[in-house]
Structure formats: C-alpha cells, structure tokens
Amino acid sequence: MTILDVEMVVRDFEAMTEDAENVQRETLKLILEENGCAEYLQNLGLNGRTDPESFKACVPLVTHKDLEPYIQRVADGDFSPILTGKPITALSRSSGTTQGKSKYLPFNDKLMETTLQMYRTSFAFRNREFPIENGKALQFIYSSKQTKTKGGLYAGTGTTHIFRNSQFKNAMKAMQSQSCSPDEVIFTPDFHQSLYCHLLCGLLFREEIQLVSSTFAYSIVLAFRTFEQVWEELCADIREGVLSSRVTFPSVRSAMAKLLKPDPELADLIEKKCSGLSNWYGLIPEIFPNVKYMYGIMTGSMELYLKKLRHYAADVPLVTGDYGASEGWIGANIHPTLPPESATYAVLPNIGYFEFIPLKQNVEEPNPIGLTEVKVDEEYEVIITNFAGLYRYRLGDVVRVTGFHNSTPELKFIGRRNLMLTINFDKITEKDLQLAVEEAGKSIAEEKLELVDFSSHVDVSSDPAHYVIFWEISGEVSDEVLQECCNCLDRSFLEYDYVNARKVNTIGPLELRVVRKGTFQKILEHYLGLGAAVSQFKTPRCVGLVNSKVLQILCHNVANNYYSDVL
C-alpha cells in the first residue's frame, strides 16, 4: 500500500471547489442517471431528466418518515429497484439518541467511496500541519452488533460497516493512521472489554502513538476516565505479561497474548508517570510522548467535553473531525489549527447534491436554494441528496455560512432544528441550551469540580409547564452554589418569547435536577443494550416522552432539585 499523496488530494480538492456549481450539477446528474430506474423516482415523473430545475420541480422534500415504507421493503427482501438502481447491500442503523429511536438508512458502496474521500481530504489538510510518520494511532473505535433483516441484509451502525470494510483498512494504512489495536479488540461484542484492551494496546505501543482519536470527543473522555480507574490493573498485566481475567472472549485473549510479554520496566515507568500526575492533568502527553494531536468530532453536543479533553491533553492540539451524519457526509475540516469551537467545514461538492432552506423562510412552504447561492452569516437547514437513495432529504441540521473556500461554502454547525425546548411560542435551541449550561457551569468550575454531562426535558405535568435541566456533577456542591446555577440557567435563556412568558408566568420557574454519579453511564448502557455503538453515541440533550426509558433513568436518579427564583 503506497503512502497517500496528500498534495495531490489537496490539488484535487482545490480544483473541485473552484467550480462548485458545475460539480454539483454533474453530481446530481450522476445520481439520477444511476438511479433513474428506481421506482421512487419513476413515480415522480422525472422521465430521465437530470437537471436541478426538473429535479426540484418533481421531487418533494422529505423526512425519514416519508421514506420509511420504501426502506422497510428493502429490509424485508424486495430487491427490485425501489430507491436505487442497484440493490442496497446493507442498512445503517442510527444511534437513536437524537430522535429517541433508531432508524434504518440505506448503505452502499457509493457511500463508502464518499466516506473514504472525506477521510483522505481532511487527513491531507491535517497532515500539512501535524505530519504523522511511521506511527500508530490509539483509536477508540468500536463495532456494534450486526444483525440481519428479514430480507437477509446486514444491519449495523454506519461506523461498523466502515470499520469492517477492507478499503477503509487500506486507506488507514496509506494515511499511516493504523490502529494499534488488533481487529479482535475493535469487533469485540463487549464494549467494556474492548475499551480495556484499547488502553492496554496504547500503553504497549506508547512510543509509537502519534494520534489519539475516536469518532466523538465523548468516547475519548470516557476512555481516559476509565483509565483513571484501571491503570494499576493495566500495569499489572504489563508486568506479568498476562491479560486481566476481566477479558473473557477467547479470540481477544488470543490476539492480546501475541502482543503481551512480561515487561516490568514498562510497568514501572507507567506507574511512576501516573503517580506523579496532579489530578490527571496532561495525562495524554505524559503517557504518549510522541502524540501529535487528538482527533474526533468536537462540535455541537460534543463541546461539553472539550474542557475535560484539554485537561487530559495539556498542550496537545485538539482537532475536530468532519461534518456528516448517518445519512452521509457533507464537509471537511480544512482548517485543523482552529480550536474546535471555531471550526468550519468546507462542503465537498461531489459527494452529494446539497440544498439549503433559509431559516428566515416560512417553514410550511420552504424554498431551498443551491450550494453556491447561500449567503455569508445566514443560517440554513441542510437538505441532502445522496448516492444511496435519499432524495431531497431534510437532515434537520442547522448551519451558519461563515465564508467560502473558492466557490464552495464553509459551514459552522449550529445544532439540530428539531431538538429544542418549547412550551408556548418560545424556542430554545440546542445551541441556546449549550451556552446556558456553559455559563452556569462556571460556578461548578470555581469549586474545582466538573459537569460530567447534562440533558433537558419539558415538564408539562406542572401548571404552568416548565423546563427541567438534569446535571451530573463530579463531586459535592453546596445548595447555595447550585441554587445560583439554577438561577443562572434561567437568566441565560434570552429568547424573546421565553423571557416574556416567564414574566407573566405562562412558563414556570426553571428546575435544576442534580442526578447521582453514574446516571449518564446508565443511559449509555441503555443504548448499548439496544444495539448502539459507543463510536456513535451522543448523550440526548433533550429528552421527551419518546425517550421514556431515558427519562425514567434520569428521574429515578435525582439526588436534589432546585427551582429558579428569577422573576
């Protein structure tokens, strides 16, 4: 496998983005030519036309609910051209943390190709700033359980399809980002055993580790919080050359036995380094002296974990991953030196056909505009048409255009459009919630404690209804401080209708519920039990009745609650 020619990848990207409008037209043409015989498109009367004007006139905007009957037919074994010209070979399963339930989405070789293009593009720009040479990556990646549908198709998370793909493995080698963990560890059905072995592999190859990564920032934080608990056991394994009895799968034990040998010197070194750390600050560069950067999606709901990541990383740069969803990829991070909070994503105009609904428009009769028609500083909902049978699909993501790279827009992810707290006419977005929590959390930081995680809920059982914020905190905090945190949360919601409703008491005082330690771990375990993968897990930031089990976990673990006295 030859090493990736990063300069050639950058040149191709620059050429493509110079003429984004024509590339978009050609991409749509290719999608419609390949799938024109599909029943879905045939019924809409395109009659072989592939131009954007005809496409927009004939094909309606849809959500997953609209396409669900077609996808279900695919899952049940109907191999006729339903959504695509060629049969769908697998189904991706979303994490279910956003909408409260998992959903199936078509996955095919074309989506795999766009995934690899995205990886190569972002790696090329990263490697200019943080070159990796003959190193290994400590990748906290996990496979979910693959099941078979009634029609015999494999169904699993999108990351599982990717990690099992031979092209992906070859691409990682070409990018010198090969995982230090053997496949048996990645594909272990037990997440806890997999995580333990990932950490052990990282220690065994500590001098060679140049990159620490995972799909989401959450997974990296979870991994090193676990390290704090098990480092002495890991050292014992290294000292004796024998894997802990906590790992029970024979295939994993066999794979790890090939790597482990008694190494008291390494065990002593790691023990000395861990014992010398103050509150685990700088853990990552201390343990992995040649690490160049940490990589994973760190925007949106992942921003909560940045403070803890920086604590572990010290001066090691944090680089946020690319912008995509279970439905497909959208943009690459081509400015890897920017802090994650400032990250933007340049849209790749050949991986799908993109439209944007201006948020200022009437949502009942949206009129999307094209990729190159968007305006700087305006906010939009993203519409995606991909190679796997999604046509004019409302992704639900809200982005802001921050500028253009050549003629393709650079987007900043704002949040999910349908993830908001609302009681009357008020609309508190995911970003509003994030900012309010960050502001109120400053009081916790002054106590030398951290906010482990949070979620929210609209309690309509009270009269008037009110917002509930759930917090898990790393230690004990006084009632006085938590009361002020509750007040701060309420004051931080500056949305006009919310402020007015609070003044006239049509929305009740905000409630802060502090949950017991380990509550959000129970939520993770709940989703893992449903077949989700840690690689795709996102804590649900807004919990409604559709997430009844998650709401039950939160409510049953409340230790204290506080009501805002802000008028």
Q: Give pLDDT tens digits for 282-331.
A: 999 999 999 999 999 998 889 889 999 999 999 999 999 999 888 889 99
pLDDT at position 54, please?
Answer: 95
Q: Grade residue 175 by pLDDT with cuts at 50, 70 and 90.
A: low
User: Is the pLDDT higher at 425 or at 212?
Assistant: 212
User: Do 98 and 419 meet the contact criterion of CB atoms below 8 Å apart?
Assistant: yes
- As a whole number, mean pLDDT of residues 142-152 equals 79
Q: Please name the amino acid found at residue 94.
A: S
Q: Grade residue 142 by pLDDT with cuts at 50, 70 and 90.
A: confident
User: Is the pLDDT higher at 177 or at 60?
Assistant: 60
Q: Grade residue 211 by pLDDT with cuts at 50, 70 and 90.
A: very high
Which range (231-245, 416-430, 453-467) has the least confidence? 416-430
Residue-wise DSSP of 350-385: TSSEEEEEETTS-TTS---EEGGG--TT-EEEEEEE
Peptide bond before 464: cis, by omega within 30 degrees of 0?
Answer: yes
pLDDT at position 172, please?
Answer: 67
Is the alpha carbon torsion for 123, 124, 126, 130 positive or negative? Answer: positive
Residue 462: pLDDT over 80: yes
pLDDT at position 1, please?
Answer: 42
Q: Find all residues with CB under 8 Å of 136, minimum gap 6, and list them.
A: 178, 179, 180, 205, 208, 209, 210, 211
Element (H, E) at 400: strand 393-405
Phi, psi of 73 (to 5 degrees): -65, -40
pLDDT at position 225, please?
Answer: 95
Which range (268-277, 385-394, 558-567) has the least confidence? 558-567
For the chain, what is the mean pLDDT?
A: 90
Q: In what order do the strands lie in the sheet with 511-515?
A: 451-459, 466-473, 511-515, 558-563
pLDDT at position 187, please?
Answer: 87
User: Do 275 and 194 meet the contact criterion of CB atoms below 8 Å apart?
Assistant: no
- As a whole number, mean pLDDT of residues 255-275 equals 96
User: How many Cα atoms occupy the beta-carbon half-sphere of 51 within 13 Å?
Assistant: 3
How many other C-beta atoms lie within 10 A of the C-beta of residue 369? 16
- pLDDT over 90, % of the chain: 65
Tokens of 377: 């500083």
- Rounded to 5 degrees, what angle do the CA atoms 212, 403, 62 make? 80
Residue 99: pLDDT over 60: no
Q: Find all residues with CB under 8 Å of 459, minimum gap 6, and list them.
A: 465, 466, 467, 468, 511
- As a whole number, mean pLDDT of residues 261-268 equals 97
pLDDT at position 176, please?
Answer: 60
Q: Find all residues with CB under 8 Å of 448, minimum gap 6, and list them.
A: none
Residue 144: pLDDT over 80: no
User: Is the pLDDT higher at 439 or at 364?
Assistant: 439
pLDDT at position 362, please?
Answer: 63
pLDDT at position 152, please?
Answer: 83
User: Is the pLDDT higher at 518 or at 99?
Assistant: 518
Helix, strand, coil content of the chain in percent (nearest 5): 40, 20, 35
- As a whole number, mean pLDDT of residues 514-531 equals 91
Instruction: Give the number of residues written for the chain.
Output: 567
Is residue 515 helix, strand or coil? strand
